[in-house]
């Protein structure tokens, strides 16, 4: 019996597989082993970014508990609206387990959305770099978080998270490098993957069985400065 062929999850997946396989023999081997792209763009906007802030520098179980307590502050209304968060005193946000900084960051994010300085409706007309610049003006949101948002929430096909340790380690292993590639070398290598660098990054993560963002966990920020420093201490990565 032939194995059932699994469907792709994003519109650009088939074209990405063909392009990556044609232009990079190493990537072709990874694709043959991993199979179809399983990036599923998610509709969350404020929720995804607030979740990312909550999960920064925390283990999954602890972050999930705090996230659930944060949502529970707003009774059974589901995830709160920005206006509700703004109206919530810092002390009440901290009662859910948020640090003072994270409570301030989430309030700052909500304020940007309320004031229109962060307008998700403009994003379809904006480039990836413009969106990254827009998002990183918000306290607590670094480039890595913005890149994950582009890939997993906006479905952008050509994002290359060069500061991601998982991507760096996967490239080092797959391309038999002595050390993890620095940004300049990585971006040069990634030129062959354009315009489907998001799919290339996903395949690199899969080659190392890296845990990716899910609907219940916005993942661990790998390239925001504080997070990278934390991971360096625990994993010995420079």
Active site amino acids = 164
Q: Calculate the CA dihedral of residues 134, 55, 162, 175 and round it to 10 degrees.
A: -160
* 50, 29 Cβ separation under 8 angstroms: no
- What's the DSSP call for residue 192? G
* 97, 66 Cβ separation under 8 angstroms: yes
Q: Quickly tell me which residue has 């966990």 as its tokens.
A: 217
Kindly state the tokens that stand for 164.
Answer: 């991601």
* 128, 150 Cβ separation under 8 angstroms: yes
């Amino acid at each position: 019996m032939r194995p059932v062929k699994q469907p792709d999850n994003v519109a650009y997946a088939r074209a990405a597989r063909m392009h990556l396989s044609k232009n990079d023999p190493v990537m072709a081997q990874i694709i043959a082993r991993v199979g179809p792209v399983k990036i599923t763009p998610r509709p969350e906007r404020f929720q995804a970014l607030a979740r990312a802030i909550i999960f920064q520098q925390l283990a999954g179980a602890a972050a999930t508990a705090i996230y659930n307590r944060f949502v529970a502050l707003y009774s059974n209304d589901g995830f709160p609206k920005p206006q509700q968060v703004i109206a919530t005193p810092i002390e009440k946000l901290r009662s859910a387990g948020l640090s003072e900084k994270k409570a301030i960051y989430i309030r700052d994010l909500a304020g940007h959305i309320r004031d229109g300085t962060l307008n998700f409706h403009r994003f379809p007309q904006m480039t990836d770099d413009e969106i990254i610049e827009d998002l990183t003006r918000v306290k607590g949101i670094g480039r890595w978080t913005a890149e994950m948002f582009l890939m997993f929430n906006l479905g952008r096909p050509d994002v290359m998270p060069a500061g991601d340790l998982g991507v760096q380690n996967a490239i080092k292993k797959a391309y038999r490098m002595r050390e993890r590639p620095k940004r300049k070398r990585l971006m040069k290598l990634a030129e062959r993957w354009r315009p489907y660098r998001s799919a290339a990054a996903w395949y690199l993560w899969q080659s190392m069985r890296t845990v990716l963002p899910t609907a219940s966990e916005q993942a661990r920020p790998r390239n925001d400065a504080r997070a990278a420093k934390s991971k360096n201490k625990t994993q010995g990565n420079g």
